[in-house]
Amino acid sequence: MRAIVLPRFGGPELFEVQDVPPPTPGPGQVLIRIIASGTNPVDAKLRQDGSWAGLKPPVVLGYDASGVIEQVGPGVTDFKPGDEVFYTPEIHQNPLGTYAELNTVSASIVAKKPPSLSHEEAAAVPLAAGTAWDAIVRRLQLRVGETVLIHGGAGGVGSFAVQIAKAVGARVLATSGPDNLETLRKLGADVVINYRSEDAAQVALRETGGQGVDAVFDTAGKNVIPSLPATRAFGRIATILGFNGDVSAFYPRNLTLHGVFLVRERRRLEELTALIERKQVRPLVERVLPLEKLAEAHRQLDSGHGRGKVVLTVGRP
């Protein structure tokens, strides 16, 4: 099968189109013919050096896909060949990602593709929207009527977080650079904040009469500590990145900090599908490129300035 191989860790120019042996599904696994593969910031991090995740080059990266079941492994009863599905495979020590024509994955983390989405749209969903759901619903437990501040609201995870927070019934304050403020408005943000020219914490305090927001979600990094004074007593802050510094301000006001890292499960994808089919959530696809242009997609990931997602077309439905 055709795959994009990374022969060693480094820059986007290293990617090579290669013909590699197709995988075969083991017990509990399905073999998927990939139609579209998503890209995520973690791909660029792994390309640079994926040893922290147990990866050893040569590897095929890619952790989001939409496609068609080609074959089911022993014991798999909930799918049949021809089913259209989407999923995000595990990263750790997985040498074959979704930048390839075929991929095997545990059936337990695969779900039927949302019918109203194209494969390109569906491939933009699992990792980013799953992470946004885990942060907003599972960990922050955001409730109707609450106010949330989302840092990086136009990015891959952030654009889903804004929509999921609106679906919850919350009031959404979201930040982006000046180019993406209109995107934030279209996603449904109630208050848009240009982080280049405004202090998000000050806006959050002003918008809540000095009380602070109920919850904060940092998808961009380095916003946890600056957000502490803008969060109400017993407020919650979630981040998908680590942070470093003086956290002393969090205990006198009974704040809670959640570190969020997606747990793959079919149920999460089905929960997202329900929102997608009700038109409450829509993936924000910025560009669609053929698989061969992967290096170009990675250059955009490296820039750190995305508006939604870059998706790769791999095959035909």
- 241 part of the interface to a copy of itself, by CB under 8 A: yes
Among 20, 137, 257, 295, binds a copy of itself (CB under 8 A): 257
Q: To the nearest whole angstrom, how small is the minimum distance from the Cβ of residue 129 to a copy of itself? A: 17
Among 5, 6, 142, 260, binds a copy of itself (CB under 8 A): 260
* Non-local CB neighbours of 52 within 8 Å, separated by 6+ positions: none
Separation of alpha carbons 28 and 33, rounded Å = 17
Residue with tokens 């109400």: 232
Q: Single out the segment in contact with a copy of itself by CB under 8 A; choices: 94-102, 147-155, 205-213, 245-253.
A: 245-253
CB atoms within 10 A of CB 271: 18
**Of 57 and 221, which CB lies nearer to a copy of itself in the complex structure?**
221
Tokens read off for 160: 């889903």
Q: Please, which of residues 122-151 interact with a copy of itself by CB under 8 A?
A: 134, 139
Q: Single out the segment in contact with a copy of itself by CB under 8 A; choices: 54-62, 106-114, 192-200, 244-252.
A: 244-252
- 51 part of the interface to a copy of itself, by CB under 8 A: no
Name the amino acid, one letter, at 59.
V
Q: To the nearest whole angstrom, how small is the minimum distance from the Cβ of residue 93 to a copy of itself? A: 14
User: What values do phi and psi take at 207, rounded to 5?
Assistant: -75, -10
Separation of alpha carbons 272 and 121, rounded Å = 13
- 210 part of the interface to a copy of itself, by CB under 8 A: no
- 243 part of the interface to a copy of itself, by CB under 8 A: yes
Q: Which residues are 66's β-sheet partners?
A: 36, 86
Among 251, 279, 303, 316, binds a copy of itself (CB under 8 A): 251
Give 9: exposed, middle or buried? Use CB within 10 Å, 0-12, 13-18, 19+.
middle
- 252 part of the interface to a copy of itself, by CB under 8 A: yes
Cα 219 → chain centroid: 10
Among 21, 261, 279, 316, binds a copy of itself (CB under 8 A): 261
Please count the residues of this chain forming the interface with a copy of itself, following the rule CB under 8 A.
26
**Of 51 and 254, which CB lies nearer to a copy of itself in the complex structure?**
254
Separation of alpha carbons 162 and 143, rounded Å = 14
> If DSSP codes are grouped into helix, strand and coil, which group holds residue 187?
helix
Separation of alpha carbons 314 and 240, rounded Å = 28
- 244 part of the interface to a copy of itself, by CB under 8 A: yes
- 258 part of the interface to a copy of itself, by CB under 8 A: yes
Tokens read off for 249: 């301000």
| CA atoms within 13 Å, Cβ hemisphere of 112 | 13
Closest CA to 300 of 88, 124, 61, 40: 40
Among 17, 196, 247, 304, binds a copy of itself (CB under 8 A): 247
Q: To the nearest whole angstrom, how small is the minimum distance from the Cβ of residue 244 to a copy of itself? A: 5
- 248 part of the interface to a copy of itself, by CB under 8 A: yes
Q: To the nearest whole angstrom, how small is the minimum distance from the Cβ of residue 236 to a copy of itself? A: 9
Tokens read off for 122: 């569906």
- 255 part of the interface to a copy of itself, by CB under 8 A: yes
- 90 part of the interface to a copy of itself, by CB under 8 A: no
Site for a copy of itself, rule CB under 8 A: 134, 139, 239-261, 263
